[in-house]
Amino acid sequence: MMAKLTVFNHVTLDGFFTDASGDMSFAHRTGPDPEWDAFVEGNAGGGGTLVFGRKTYDMMAGFWPTPAAEQMMPLVAERMNNLPKVVFSRTMKRASWNNTTLVTGDLGSAVRALKRESGEDMVILGSGSIVSQLTELRLIDAYQFVVDPVVLGKGRTMFETVTGKVPLRLTSSRIFGNGNVLLSYELGT
């Protein structure tokens, strides 16, 4: 059975996953919400392989192995640091974050091979250019979007380079007390 590839990303009400300068801090602006916190911890425990582009990898590798991350979210930090990770980059020479494999070759071919051979499901975090390219190639099986109740006005979408219509089918939704809404989709027909 082929591994499933899922995207998990935050987006704003106006459809952006980063602001115009690449900042994603809007996704972490919520106040205390025990239900949301439990969801984040449970989601981090899902296992599988984490998939990143270089920019998101650099951001994650710069935060999760730190004492601040361990103090703020110990369970999530432990899982982020120990889960297997794949980073796609044409410019990196090595990936030093624990349990990371660097892939420098063709993105589509590499993902097809990972889906066939890995046996473990994979999730893309952030990594808009990777999401866009793999959506165009129809290699993403499912999308999970957390819609944050904020409008940025300008920013980047995850689908900037997609050239055709990609039908999706809603599989579930969930509303949190902090105003976040989780929408889960699979490729439609």
Q: Please check whether residue 186 lies inside any domain of the structure.
A: no
Q: Please check whether residue 173 lies inside any domain of the structure.
A: no
- Which residues have C-beta within 8 Å of that of residue 110, sequence separation ≥ 6? 88, 103
Phi, psi of 178, rounded to the nearest 5 degrees: -80, 0
Question: Which runs of E-coded beta strand occur in the chain?
Answer: 5-12, 49-53, 85-88, 100-103, 122-125, 142-148, 168-175, 181-187
CATH number at residue 104: 3.40.430.10
Whether pLDDT at 57 is above 90? yes
How open is the CA angle 106-125-181, to the nearest 5 degrees? 140
Q: Do the Cβ atoms of 83 and 49 come closer than 8 Å? A: yes
Q: Please check whether residue 116 lies inside any domain of the structure.
A: yes
The pLDDT-based confidence of 44 (bands split at 50, 70, 90) is low
Q: Tens digits of per-residue pLDDT, 67-102? A: 999 998 898 899 999 999 999 999 999 999 999 999
Does this model's pTM top 0.75? My answer is yes
What does the pLDDT read at residue 104? Answer: 94
Q: Please check whether residue 61 lies inside any domain of the structure.
A: yes
The sheet with strand 122-125 has its strands ordered as 100-103, 85-88, 49-53, 122-125, 5-12, 142-148, 181-187, 168-175
The total number of structural domains that make up the chain: 1
Q: Please check whether residue 172 lies inside any domain of the structure.
A: no
Domain holding 132, by residue range, is 1-24+48-157
Q: Please check whether residue 37 lies inside any domain of the structure.
A: no
Q: Please check whether residue 77 lies inside any domain of the structure.
A: yes
The Cα 187–Cα 89 span in angstroms is: 26
**Pairing relationship of beta strands 168-175 and 181-187 according to DSSP bridges:** antiparallel
Q: Please check whether residue 114 lies inside any domain of the structure.
A: yes
Q: Tens digits of per-residue pLDDT, 4-38? A: 999 999 999 999 999 998 888 888 876 778 898 88
